């Protein structure tokens, strides 16, 4: 018999330890409920800063504190490691497995916050040569590929092949793509300056590709144009209206808006072009009749529940409500808190809060050191002031006092100086993964 059955308290199961799941659990800290948080990873990931792990500014521990540590003082929470393979909404149970052990957890209320992963738009084979940036493993692999590419270029005697190693392509002109492209320029032109004897890292070619006619399109035309101009100043080639036709070991094949093909030779490609919700969304849709869109997101009611199942909430990147979801951290935080509050109100026989309303606190993205863009209500900011606001907000949302202190320290090293603390683990692949072999020295 499970511990919650012995206590006879309402049992809330939360799937996922991201923003939606973690903030839902914290919202229930004073509630008369037992909580089981099930997650396939043992940490809470501050995903907006993954690109800084990939480019050597931060270590993985600074943006991914252990979930058990974050919730250690919240006595009504049990953390359970496991990949959720089944949800039985009729029987009110969740099946998960880890280390060869299968666990079935019964629930009275369920909050599904399993998030999203990288979408390759029907081409999963791209993942081998163009990693996305959705988890710590992705960031660590990209860091190895990025710094490993410079090491391989230093060894390569053939100028043409050396140029391939020093060519970096970022696919996707959203916030992640812009931030990655900007940081790759900083790495090449500042961080690695004077580190090599054969190559000049500043000669690196960095290309940002997007199928639309704007980068950061959701920020509006003015900020988009300023962002593109700043990237070009940093030496980034910005290819707009360019559709990726193929990605392989030789680089990226592109079709422009006139139908003309082009090829960018590169050994290091970063995929930042799309997201796909957890497969659990499709599973829930099949059981409840809820609509599921092409990105795998579940259409929820105004109160974030599923048709005929007021005890099941879907939050964060997994849901669409009223046909929308900006796919940002604030949606996950606010929807997670809303679902938790609705559960408490129902248990206390209080009136529900009413429909979920997302309060847009704005969007931000960094471009480079001292340059960022911010869209907050009707306010549009660009440059140093936007960058300072970005710093403050991201420090505020980092979980844990220790994480904030060490993050500020590493930011000072990277932004005020020209070094990066996290550059270990190179020569692991740089697009060739386990088959990579450095060229012979001549």
Question: In terms of Cα–Cα distance, which of 104, 149, 16 is closest to 25?
Answer: 16
179 annotated active-site? yes
Burial call 41-71: b when 16+ CB within 10 Å, e when fewer? bebbbbbbbbbbbbbbbbbbebbbbbbeebb
225, 384 Cβ separation under 8 angstroms: no
Strands 77-81 and 33-39: parallel
According to DSSP, the residues that pair with 36 across neighbouring strands are 13, 78
- Could you give the 3-state DSSP secondary structure of residue 187? helix
Strands 251-256 and 242-248: antiparallel
What's the distance, CA 259 to chain centroid? 32
- Catalytic: which of 141, 156, 164, 179? 179
Residue in the block written with tokens 């050994």: 267
- CA gap 131, 126 in Å, rounded: 8
Phi, psi dihedrals of residue 96, rounded to the nearest 5° = -135, 160
Q: CB count, 10 Å around CB of 129?
A: 22
- Could you give the 3-state DSSP secondary structure of residue 290? coil
Strands 116-118 and 275-277: antiparallel
- CA gap 389, 316 in Å, rounded: 24
Question: Which letter does DSSP use for residue 367 in this model?
Answer: E
Tokens coding 139: 């960031």
Phi, psi dihedrals of residue 17, rounded to the nearest 5° = -115, 20
308, 287 Cβ separation under 8 angstroms: no
Active-site residue set:
179
């Amino acid at each position: 018999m499970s511990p919650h059955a012995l206590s006879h308290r309402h049992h809330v199961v939360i799937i996922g330890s991201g923003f939606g799941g973690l903030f839902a659990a914290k919202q229930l800290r004073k509630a008369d409920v037992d909580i089981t948080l099930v997650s396939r990873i043992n940490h809470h990931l501050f995903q907006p800063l993954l690109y800084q792990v990939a480019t050597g500014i931060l270590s993985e521990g600074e943006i991914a504190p252990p979930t058990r540590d974050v919730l250690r003082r919240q006595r009504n929470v049990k953390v359970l490691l496991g990949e959720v393979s089944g949800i039985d909404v009729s029987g009110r149970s969740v099946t998960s497995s880890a280390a060869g052990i299968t666990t079935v957890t019964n629930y009275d209320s369920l909050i599904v916050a399993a998030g999203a992963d990288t979408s390759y738009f029907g081409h999963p084979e791209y993942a081998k040569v163009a990693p996305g940036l959705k988890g710590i493993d992705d960031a660590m692999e990209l860091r190895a590929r990025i710094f490993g590419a410079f090491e391989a270029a230093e060894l390569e005697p053939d100028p043409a092949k050396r140029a391939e190693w020093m060519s970096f392509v970022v696919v996707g002109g959203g916030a992640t793509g812009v931030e990655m492209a900007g940081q790759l320029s900083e790495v090449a032109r500042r961080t690695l300056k004077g580190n090599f004897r054969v190559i000049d890292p500043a000669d690196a070619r960095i290309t940002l590709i997007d199928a639309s006619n704007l980068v950061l399109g959701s920020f509006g035309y003015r900020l988009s144009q300023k962002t593109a101009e700043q990237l070009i100043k940093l030496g980034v080639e910005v290819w707009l209206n360019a559709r990726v036709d193929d990605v392989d070991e030789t680089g990226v094949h592109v079709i422009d808006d006139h139908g003309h093909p082009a090829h960018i030779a590169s050994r290091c490609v970063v995929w930042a072009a799309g997201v796909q919700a957890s497969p659990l969304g499709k599973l829930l849709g099949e059981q409840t009749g809820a609509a599921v869109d092409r990105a795998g997101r579940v259409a929820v009611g105004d109160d974030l529940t599923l048709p005929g199942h007021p005890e099941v909430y879907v939050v964060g990147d997994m849901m669409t409500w009223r046909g929308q979801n900006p796919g940002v951290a604030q949606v996950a935080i606010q929807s997670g808190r809303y679902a938790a509050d609705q559960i408490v109100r129902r248990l206390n026989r209080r009136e529900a809060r009413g429909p979920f309303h997302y309060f847009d606190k704005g969007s931000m993205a960094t471009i480079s050191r001292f340059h960022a863009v911010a869209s907050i209500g009707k306010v549009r900011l660009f440059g140093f002031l936007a960058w300072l606001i970005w710093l403050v907000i991201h420090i505020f949302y980092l979980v844990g006092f220790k994480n904030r202190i060490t993050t500020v320290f590493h930011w000072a090293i990277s932004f005020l100086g020209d070094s990066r603390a996290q550059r270990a683990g190179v020569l692991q692949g740089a697009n060739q993964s386990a088959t990579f072999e450095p060229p012979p020295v001549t």
